[in-house]
Chains A and B, each alone.
Chain A
Amino acid sequence: MTTAADPTVSRIPAPAPAAPEFALRRRLAFRRMPISIKICSLLALAFVFTALFAPWLTPHDPDATQILAKLKPPAWMEGGEAAHLFGTDQLGRDLLSRCIYGVRVSVGLALFGLIVGCLIGTTLGVVSGLLGGHVDRAIMMLVDVFISVPNLLIVLVGIAAFGTDIVVLVVLIGLARWESYARIVRGQVLQVREMPFIEASRALGGSHAWIAMRHVLPNIAGPLIVLLTLNFPSILLLESSLSFLGIGVQPPTASLGSMVGDGRDHLIFAWWVAVAPALVIVAITFIVQMLGDWLRDVLDVRVDD
């Protein structure tokens, strides 16, 4: 009996052949993206652009108060002014300008936090996977333990002890998710480790560090990129939750979370003060989540269980 004649077998799609490097790059090409992903990636670029060039984009100084113009509604509502597109807050500061700076602060903090967590997690994951044995068991035990502690609590302890300096926040936010990288990277390293080219490099006298940098890391870049993208929203939300509670980025610096927190007291008469930054947060997390899900499908990696 041939497989083609068996209806149950023929319906199962054949496993895709291992995709060579150039095919991967082609799958990520802009013109091959579905339309929704095209829009999302353009918007993501726009947000990065906003964060980078905030000082040149804002119509007003984000911290300049104007008591006479406080709690002005957005331009399209009755009583709104074209000069303040999103309206003004309780101190008469221009909300659009503050949102633009808020994107800069929040996205910047989240990105640096992401890098910190990724560096720690990847290093431990590579060490764990390459060395194996007791080192591996110890690191994996640490990962297990960290997963079961609510990360917000650890961050709270850190803030109470070391204050809300930007560097402290970046490190604490980064620490919150390091274990996810360690787990994924270790799994990937265990697979890559058995490849002939690693054995060849070792036979030629390559050290652990050399093998890790030159051969292992480039081969696990795909899953790492997916994980970074998928972790970004949760890091951003962690930072904005802290700032919302008033224990993250300190005033007068505008962070999207602290802006929502400020607006909470004016919900009844001036809902836009809280809603404008809240919409920006939702937009960013939504866009990045969509991109992450798409990347995961295209690169065909399993990062969550």
Chain B
Amino acid sequence: MTPLLQIDDLVVDYASGGRTVRALDGAALTVEAGETVGVVGESGSGKSTLGSAIGGLLPGAAKVVSGAVRVDGDDVNSLRPTQLRALRRERLGYVFQEPIGSLDPTMRVGKQVELALRGRGTKADVLPHLERVRLRDPERVARSYPHQLSGGMAQRVAIALAMAGKPEILIADEPTAALDSQIREEVLGVIFSLAAESGTTILWLSHDLPAVAKRCSRVVVMYGGRVVESGSAGEVLAAPRHPYTAALVRAVPGELAEGERLVPIPGQPPVLDGPSEGCAFAPRCPDADDACAASRPPLVSVEQRDVLCHLAEETVGAGR
């Protein structure tokens, strides 16, 4: 059976001002229908590029060098424009970081919802869609322009727009990063309950490992344009296999026992201009040896966990 989403060794370059930056360096990910997947990584890890690539939404400066993205077996990069639009309209939903910015400032909210419903509902369906995202006064919101809404309200509207077509996959790129901390949980609650209702698979891109682990069934960790660890949320958090994941866990406040130290990760995330020769994390890795810098780590599956690390097998059961 074909998986809902399959990303094979995807390599994406950005051309910026005469120089090339490699954003994805052979990222691989498979998602089955109904999963809730949290993709975790620092800015520059390639998670946003990965999210954009699924809908063929890469900006003009980006180029898919090799690899493939398949949704239900369809290769996104070889679809014709009309097919690509159909894919975006019928099977994918996107929620972005900037809530007010992702709504058209010159169009009333109700009209925007109506537009998103085109072919799937009428004007009468606008209010129910706004009610579904738990907006308190949907009639007033429908009459408003985006600049009259708060960030949280605008993001609920954006969710309503993205979920209007009951998509198979919802890609939420840092959906709460621009919101006040009190309303983050509410907005996430809306996303997850709506997705559960309509059987939508969630791909949540975030830099916040514990937040992701709390709500998602699976956690995928990205570093240097590759997926370095993937496994069930609880286990990844409790017993990370990849040294980077382990470092992330140690850098999280509140996940520590009393008396333990919060350890920041030394060094900077890499900016690649071509394929990394060895493991991209090697320069910052406390356990790295010569092999780590010299050859690219292979994918190792240990205990239902996929890890991209030379040392993965040695560390099994090491209780990191």
Whether chains A and B associate is no
List residues of chain B with CB under 8 Å of any chain A CB: none
List residues of chain A with CB under 8 Å of any chain B CB: none
